[in-house]
Amino acid sequence: MCPSSFRGKLGRYPPWPGKVVSPPKDLKKPRGKKCHFVKFFGTEDHAWIKVEQLKPYHAHKEEMIKINKGKRFQQAVDAVEDFLKKAKGKEQNSDGKGDSKGRKTPTKPLKILEEDDEDLSDLTDSDPEPSTLERLGAGPGSGFNWESSPASSMEPISKRLKIVEEVNNRSTSIQAADSTAINGSITPTDKRIGFLGLGLMGSGIVSNLLKMGHVVTVWNRTAEKCDLFIQEGARLGRTPAEVASTCDITFSCVSDPKAARDLVLGPSGVLQGIRPGKCYVEMSTVDPGTITELSQVITSRGGRFLEAPVAGSQQLSNDGMLVILAAGDRTVYEDCSSCFQAMAKTSFFLGEAGNAARMMLILNMVQGSFMATIAEGLTLAQATGQSQQTFLDILCQGQMASTFVDQKCQNILQGNFKPDYYLKHIQKDLRLAISMGDKANHPTPMAAAANEVYKRAKALDQSDNDISAVYRAYIH
């Protein structure tokens, strides 16, 4: 009979099957509550998971299948069932056999653990029954992959903020590979936090700051968007200047360079509220020139400046699993540590102001170009009489398989273009990246071609749809 079995329950993340395994010898166990190192079926992802997040597989199998859909999840379930069959076969072969002295060896009884039961010391990688686990960023495609990540640069889950220096590129990262598990142990800063801009990204960020106990004052150009956060405990700022003057650290996340400049330099703008020691963190994706300008005007008033654009989507923002690229004043970066842990899985410090903008534009240039290519492939498959679903199935079994590809392609096939990242914003990022390439005298022909496709999609009224709506540029 199999030893202990588990299933996890952690809020809005769908469950995923896994099993407790022995961690690598040089991997430190997180402090705090009892937890175990878990491998996810159907993937090579691993993560530290708390005991109370584990529940029996069989007891919750049907519920889990109803929640999860998709080919990757089915493959994970198939892997679980195959594992159980093999484990059962081993038990049958060994059942009733005696030890070396001829005595019958008893089988170990099944033990179902309750939430407060921490007696898991007998579990290793021998043959535990699979558990279903909430995917907390540690599931397929988003969790920690021990096989490919050296312990020196990436710990799966850490209870404390870790700053890791990367010698090769002189960047620094705050690692938090499993945001929800990390968030449970965050000690929020006692500094007063301000946040300007409650769009797709900003809304999720503010929600996570509040959940983790931060004192947050919010402002948005459309004031009605503040109401929900006021109900959750946020304070209301009447103007950007008021927020900056009453808060120790003010974050902003708006749509483009013009909006970022207007927020700081316009009437009742941030600059009017900046005093010596006040911190301003620009999270918008803008060009390096805008960052340089904002940094200069903020520091000219005695303020401290940090840029911290975010890589991710609305869903990742809601889940607290963004990636933050920061640059500028290192002390501000350190002061923001609890905030960054609340909103992101990882945060990198890249040096002087402007570097984060450059890196973010490069990343979004690659993502935008890739999305356009995927859309082109789907439409070419259709034009040549091939099944688009089969194209996707094959794609998701190869080297380019990822959650991003699977989700975007499924959305296209379903005609669902609800924005997770606005098409108009990725086109803006492509335009800024091309301009950055021009200034560096570096060719960007692939990005330029993709940019034209997005411009056509915008002309077809797709600006406020998801980036995957670039597909429609090929079918009209």
Query: DSSP characters for 59-80?
Result: HHHHHHHHH--SHHHHHHHHHH
Mean pLDDT of 179-190: 61
Mean pLDDT for 97-101 is 48
pLDDT digit string (tens) for 319-334?
999 999 999 999 999 9
Q: Is-contact 373 471, C-beta < 8 A?
A: no
CA-nearest of 417, 202, 177, 434 to 310 is 202
- Residue position matching structure tokens 């705050």: 174
Give the model's confidence band at 19: pLDDT under 50 very low, under 70 low, under 90 confident, else very high. confident
Q: Determine the residue type at 447.
A: A
Between CA 412 and CA 40 the distance in angstroms is 28
Ordered alpha helix ranges (H), 69-191: 71-94, 179-183
CB atoms within 10 A of CB 85: 10
Q: Is the pLDDT of residue 174 over 70?
A: no
Q: Is residue 198 pLDDT above 80, yes or no?
A: yes
pLDDT of residue 43: 66
DSSP summary character for residue 237: P
The whole-number average pLDDT for the span 71-91 is: 74
Q: What is the pLDDT of residue 281?
A: 98
Mean pLDDT calculated for residue range 144-151: 34
Lowest mean pLDDT among 34-38, 62-66, 436-440: 62-66
For 159-198, give one letter per residue: b (16+ CB within 10 A) or e. Answer: bebeeeeeeeeebbbbbbbbbbbbbebbebbeebbbbbbb
- Give the contacts of 405 (CB within 8 A, at least 6 positions apart): 374, 392, 395, 396
- Amino acid, single-letter form, for residue 65: I
Kindly report the backbone phi and psi dihedral angles of residue 166, in degrees, each rounded to the nearest multiple of 5, phi listed first. -105, 110
pTM of the model: 0.66
In degrees, rounded to 5, the angle at the alpha carbon of residue 207 between the alpha carbons of residues 324 and 310 is 15
- Side-chain-side CA neighbours of residue 367 (13 Å): 23
- pLDDT classification of 135: cutoffs 50, 70, 90: very low
* Amino acid 381: pLDDT: 97
Give the mean model confidence (pLDDT) for residues 440-466.
98
Count of other CB atoms within 10 angstroms of residue 226: 20
| 227-274 confidence digits (pLDDT tens) | 999 999 999 999 999 999 999 999 999 999 999 999 999 999 999 999
Which is nearest to 235 in space by CA: 253, 251, 215, 249? 215
- Give the mean pLDDT of 397-404: 92
- Whether residue 176 is predicted with pLDDT greater than 50 in this model: the reply is no
The rounded mean pLDDT for the chain is 80
Residue 22: is its pLDDT beyond 90? no
In percent, the amount of the chain with pLDDT more than 70 equals: 72
Determine the average pLDDT of the residues in 344-359: 97
Whether residue 133 contacts residue 40, with contact meaning beta carbons closer than 8 Å, is answered with yes
d(CA 401, CA 406): 7
In whole angstroms, give the CA distance from residue 462 to residue 412.
13
Distance between CA atoms of residues 9 and 55, nearest Å? 8
Strands 131-134 and 15-20, sheet pairing:
antiparallel
Q: Are 8 and 49 in contact (CB under 8 A)?
A: yes
pLDDT in the model for residue 84: 81
**pLDDT bracket for residue 185 (50, 70, 90):** low
* 51 pLDDT higher than 80: no
